[in-house]
């Protein structure tokens, strides 16, 4: 089969799976909502900019007012469903599901890029310290709010993540070249150092210990459309640009010198891939904390299914990562499930990172024993 046909059919299949997972997930909870009603509620929630009204805002101190544009939105669909169902889906469940999908996209895409980049099956999105940096930033913001005067938790985590990635890159770069092995080792060293810093801050965090710990375990509770509004655009733009470099990723698998002989500007491409993967990871980690195994396991599974060609691997991994995290977060968030036919049961609410690791690690071990994972 032609590769482009395979890419489109796999992507369409995984896209459909994602839609199905989202609809089922949005229906599950203490109140069961029928899939067709969920679908209508989701469609009802879609708005497009309808126009711009000019409002005037008072300017303090100076007096008077200046005009500023205020866009208005219009619903595209207006299906007639119960208001409670609409509210449950649109404001209670959907933000969290959308954020889970976004973070899943981000981690799986970044994991795919990092594994190819390092030609190392154990590489994951945070291999150069992005997650440690985010955790350090977040814990600092939680434990010492006075030190982080503006921007809040997400901002601190995002800056910490990118700052760490940049630091590791700078340490590993010498004379315009960045050897991958040095990058890997510098990442490990910086992560160890940040681990010490985080532990130190936790010791002195007092009452904030629980909040910091929950953050670090990975969490999607209290998600808002604002989180999605930050993470989704960053992720989508990052993944789309990465999608333009899939041929370079393939050629880099041959080794850097081969890649150069085939015309790839190796150092520039490495910097670009590393920067984009780090930004995308940072966006995900900043809003959801450190969620393990998504970025490690999902690219591996997809590689076994579709092969190592990044032109098909990157889009399919991204979509599969979204489905995986929505599904695991659904398990994590449910305190009770009520299904049709009067089936009801309760379950503990846990941070999503526990579920991804608890499901991902055994599955990964299963893969290791069943399929020989020699290389990326």
Identify the residue among 81, 142, 251, 298 touching other proteins (CB under 8 A).
251
- Using CB under 8 A as the binding rule, whether residue 367 contacts other proteins is answered as no
Q: With CB under 8 A, what is the number of residues at the site for other proteins?
A: 24
Q: Which is nearer to other proteins, 266 or 285 (CB)?
A: 266
Give the range of 72-80, 138-146, 353-361, 368-376 binding other proteins by CB under 8 A: 368-376
- Contact track, other proteins, 306-345, x by CB under 8 A: -xxx------------------------------------
Q: Which is nearer to other proteins, 91 or 265 (CB)?
A: 265
Q: Which is nearer to other proteins, 3 or 56 (CB)?
A: 3
Identify the residue among 45, 197, 236, 262 touching other proteins (CB under 8 A).
262
- Name 342's Cβ contacts closer than 8 Å, sequence gap at least 6: none
Identify the residue among 11, 213, 260, 338 touching other proteins (CB under 8 A).
260
Distance, in Å, from the CA atom of 110 to the CA atom of 95, rounded to the nearest integer, reads 22
Provide the token pair at 14: 């995984």
Contact 317, 341 (CB under 8 A): no
Contact 158, 238 (CB under 8 A): no
Distance, in Å, from the CA atom of 54 to the CA atom of 67, rounded to the nearest integer, reads 6
- Using CB under 8 A as the binding rule, whether residue 263 contacts other proteins is answered as yes
- Using CB under 8 A as the binding rule, whether residue 211 contacts other proteins is answered as no
Q: Which is nearer to other proteins, 29 or 299 (CB)?
A: 299
* Least distance CB 37 / other proteins (angstroms): 41
Identify the residue among 58, 222, 341, 374 touching other proteins (CB under 8 A).
374
Q: Which is nearer to other proteins, 178 or 356 (CB)?
A: 178
Give the range of 208-216, 242-250, 286-294, 333-341 binding other proteins by CB under 8 A: 242-250
Tell me which residues touch other proteins (CB under 8 A). Answer: 3-4, 244, 247, 250-251, 253-255, 257-258, 260-266, 307-309, 374-376
């Amino acid at each position: 089969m032609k590769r482009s046909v395979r890419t489109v059919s796999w992507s369409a299949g995984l896209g459909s799976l994602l839609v199905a997972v989202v609809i089922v997930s949005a229906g599950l909870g203490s109140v069961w909502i029928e899939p067709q009603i969920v679908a209508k509620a989701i469609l009802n929630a879609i708005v497009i900019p309808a126009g711009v009204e000019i409002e005037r805002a008072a300017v303090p101190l100076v007096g008077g007012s200046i005009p500023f544009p205020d866009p208005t939105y219009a619903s595209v669909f207006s299906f007639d469903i119960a208001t409670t169902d609409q509210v449950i889906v649109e404001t209670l469940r959907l933000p969290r599901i959308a954020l889970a999908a976004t973070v899943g996209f981000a981690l799986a895409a970044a994991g795919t890029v990092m594994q190819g980049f390092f030609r190392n099956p154990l590489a994951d999105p945070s291999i150069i310290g992005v997650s440690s940096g985010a955790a350090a930033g977040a814990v600092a913001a939680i434990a010492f709010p006075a030190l982080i005067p503006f921007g809040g938790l997400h901002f601190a985590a995002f800056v910490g993540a990118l700052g760490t990635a940049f630091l590791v890159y700078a340490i590993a770069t010498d004379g315009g070249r960045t050897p991958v092995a040095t990058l890997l080792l510098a990442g490990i060293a910086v992560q160890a150092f940040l681990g010490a810093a985080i532990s130190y801050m936790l010791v002195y965090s007092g009452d904030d210990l629980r909040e910091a710990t929950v953050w670090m375990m990975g969490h999607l509770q209290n998600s808002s459309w604002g989180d999605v509004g930050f993470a989704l655009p960053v992720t989508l733009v990052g993944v789309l640009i990465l999608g333009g470099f899939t041929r370079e990723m393939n050629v880099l698998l041959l080794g850097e010198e081969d890649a150069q002989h085939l015309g790839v500007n190796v150092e520039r491409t490495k910097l670009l891939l590393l920067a984009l993967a780090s930004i995308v990871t940072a966006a995900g980690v900043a809003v959801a904390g450190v969620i393990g195994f998504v970025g490690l396991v999902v690219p591996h599974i997809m590689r076994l299914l579709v092969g190592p060609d990044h032109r098909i691997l990157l889009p399919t991994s991204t979509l599969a990562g979204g489905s995986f995290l929505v599904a695991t977060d659904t398990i994590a968030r449910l305190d009770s499930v009520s299904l049709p036919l009067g089936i009801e049961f309760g379950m503990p609410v846990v941070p999503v990172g526990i579920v991804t690791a608890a499901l991902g690690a055994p599955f990964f071990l299963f893969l290791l024993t069943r399929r020989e994972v020699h290389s990326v």
